[in-house]
Amino acid sequence: MSKTILITGASSGLGAEMARQFAAKGYDLALCARRTEKLDALKAEILAAHPGRRVEVRALDVTDDDQVFEVFRGFAKDFGTIDRIVINAGLGKGAPLGTGRYDANRETAMTNFVAALAQSEAAMEIFRAQNAGHFVMISSMSAVRGMPKTLTTYAATKAGVAHLAEGLRTELYGKPIKVTVLYPGYIASEMNEKVEQSTPLMASTEKGVRAMVDAIEKEKASAAVPGFPWAPLGVVMKHAPMPIFKKLI
């Protein structure tokens, strides 16, 4: 019997590539995002490559609390069991605090943290009813330490969602529901396509997501992905004295 994975923010970038790679591993897919035309195209692509898979898609704006619960419950009804849920939807907007762009910072905070809380509630409702499941939170290497300028709010939201998931892991330790937090480094995606791509640390979408999928399949408690260079870099980022840290970023 195929396992089922629900992925939010699945219409592009990391979410879409996770869908492709999990389909190749034999998973049936519950995919949701705002842009249904992209979801439909992805569904057609996956079914053409893997005719035996089942792919269900639903429109979801993660900032609409009621819709989050409606969509998650709908997928659970569609499939009967949801084995794994990846909370991936996110936003990369931001501006230095106090520069007149509270609107952008608030939008990022609401999408990346409050909406992730709603998704976590909806996911755990399913897993508690099943008494089984794998809860996966996509954080960021920026969560390791407070970040400056345009990244300040974004990094804070990613630290927040990591702590949400870690709190769940503590609560559920030794029980059938597993929790993974991933900390992706620079992975090419739609969110960062306007960022300078020449950095040697930028992994391709395919390679970066392969590392993410591998960590998820192993049900790691937490993982910096790709492991190299981000696992050692994360230690440096967290503990470097401020003058060195500022030069690093």
User: Which residues are designated catalytic?
Assistant: 154
Task: Confirm if 82 and 56 have CB atoms less than 8 A apart.
Answer: no
Cα 55–chain centre separation = 19
Q: Let me know: does 93 contact 108? Beta carbons within 8 Å.
A: yes
DSSP assigned state of 111: I
Q: Do the Cβ atoms of 92 and 105 come closer than 8 Å?
A: no
Q: How many residues does the chain have?
A: 249
**24 in Cβ contact with 55 (< 8 Å):** no
Q: Return the structure tokens found at 84.
A: 């794994």
Distance separating alpha carbons of residues 22 and 144, to the nearest angstrom: 27
What one-letter code names the amino acid at 115? A
